[in-house]
Amino acid sequence: IYAALPTSSPRYIVIVFWKQYDDGRETERLALINWVPPNSNPTQLTLHAMASKQFEQAVSSDAPFTMSI
């Protein structure tokens, strides 16, 4: 994943993985990663920060969401 990320632009990353328990149950888990390279454009940093809470809420809710990459 690291090699595919831009070096000067922040990104949100969602990784979906499944965990299987000893009793056979399976659960879906989400890992939210906030990628902010040190040399990001200040304007992009501001926009990224403004969208952070909204993005987290969209991903954490049970509602479906669409993401473009």
Tens of pLDDT, residues 53-62 = 888 887 776 6
What is the structure's pLDDT at 52? 84
Tens of pLDDT, residues 30-51 = 888 888 998 998 999 898 888 8
What is the structure's pLDDT at 18? 85
Q: Which helix (H) or strand (E) holds 13?
A: strand 11-20
pTM higher than 0.85: no
Q: In sequence order, what are the residues at sequence separation of 6 or more whose Cβ sits closer than 8 angstroms to the Cβ of residue 30?
A: 14, 15, 16, 59, 60
SS3 assignment, position 55: helix
Locus of tokens 């479906």: 64
- In this predicted structure, the answer to whether residue 66 has a pLDDT above a threshold of 60 is no
